Structure 1
């Protein structure tokens, strides 16, 4: 729903539902693989918080503060005896519109391969997440633009 307030010259659009779809479409199956291991995002477990595209005084911008949670599988390719894949969870507790790329925190839960996930996989995931803001604006800027007098 788009909210319009002509007296204050602003328009807001809640984009949280779109964000959930976006992460399901763009982040699932994100993969890192080398000769020793393969790490893959298997699901987007949670996208919560706020995500809005807004126009204020003729300028379109986005404001979001979300918590993201992803499930991953880790295949140890060195261990031929193991048919079993390890699982882990990656949580981004604060995915915020005005943070620098290096400020994001990635919490890794339930894995014996935390160091490898942090070293190899987090940079791949970070690159995907950095595309969110321009994609959000591309998808919704036209919905909040209105003529200013």
Structure 2
């Protein structure tokens, strides 16, 4: 793989002349329409509200028109969506066994509008709507609160597109004692020595860490002295709030310390970058900096 100066440039921020989209600095766009439609169906289908006077629920989404995109610029995810929805509803009042029906239209569901600003219009049978209003039923579709409460969940559309992930595994051996390699990975000064960059580490359960100038961040979930380290771990350009889980387990063997690493939740498009980063910027540098290379006999 290409090198640029000292270390892997995809882990360390610096200017490049080769126009490579490092850390998604340049604008990229992904179609999120199918994912967003599925999310809307999950949020609204069979929404049911009731109180002491009756019940009302959505029974069908008759129309979903619009689009959604997920964009990445300067390592920031930006989501755009705009939808026009039509929903069928049905309801009953406890003093009347006749089933009431109607249709709701939501003409302006978009990233620009909060849930309180979204219009919900009744389109159904006017007699049914009037009867619901006269009987002051529960917070149902006639006064829109049920739909608007659920639409607040559409904020999930801006959290991120469904992320497909991969698990990485590797086993490394070092010509040292287990306590030595454990200390190298948890002592901020030693981490700075082999990463050749600033490192901030709160070495305690729940403590935060930041490596490579903030390009890698996370926090410690488990710390078992000389035995196990579990971290929530992410690159700066990954979708907001998305962490992988890194588990490192250590054991002492006759010819040195053995470490097994398992990393779950790595976005599919980040697998090679992450794999090479561990190899080049961690294990190779640790062996070089501290002389932990395996001797061959």
TM-score range with shorter-chain normalisation?
A: 0.7 to 0.9
Greater than 6 Å deviation, 4+ residue runs: none
Determine the C-alpha separation between the residues in 2 that align with 1:98 and 1:139.
18
Q: Relative to structure 1, is the Cα distance of residues 102 and 119 closer, same or farther in structure 2, using a 3 angstrom cutoff?
A: farther
Q: Where does structure 1 lack aligned partners over 5 or more consecutive residues? A: none
Residue of structure 2 equivalent to 1:128: 150
Residue 113 in structure 1 maps to residue 135 in structure 2 = no
Residue of structure 1 equivalent to 2:92: 75
Aligned residue runs from structure 1 range 20-99, under 5 A: 20-79=37-96, 82=97, 84-99=98-113
Determine the C-alpha separation between the residues in 1 that align with 2:56 and 2:84.
21
Q: Greater CA radius of gyration, 1 or 2? A: 2
C-alpha distance after superposition, 1:92-143 (max 9, x if no partner): 1010101122211111111322664998222221121111223542444477
C-alpha distance after superposition, 1:67-98 (max 9, x if no partner): 1111110112211xx3x412111111010101
C-alpha contact (below 8 Å) 2:93/2:137 kept by paired residues: no
Give the alignment's Cα RMSD to 1 decimal: 3.0
Structure 2 counterpart SS, 1:60 = strand
Structure 1 counterpart SS, 2:139 = helix
Identify which of structures 1 and 2 has the higher relative contact order when contacts are C-alpha pairs closer than 8 Å and 6+ apart. 1
Determine the C-alpha separation between the residues in 2 that align with 1:132 and 1:74.
24
TM-score (norm 2): 0.41
C-alpha distance after superposition, 1:37-90 (max 9, x if no partner): 2100111112111211111222101111111111110112211xx3x4121111
Residue 19 in structure 1 maps to residue 36 in structure 2 = yes
Q: Where does structure 2 lack aligned partners over 5 or more consecutive residues? A: 1-19, 163-238, 243-266, 274-297
Count of residue correspondences = 139
Determine the C-alpha separation between the residues in 1 that align with 2:28 and 2:137.
39
Q: Relative to structure 1, is the Cα distance of residues 22 and 35 closer, same or farther in structure 2, using a 3 angstrom cutoff?
A: same
C-alpha contact (below 8 Å) 2:107/2:119 kept by paired residues: yes
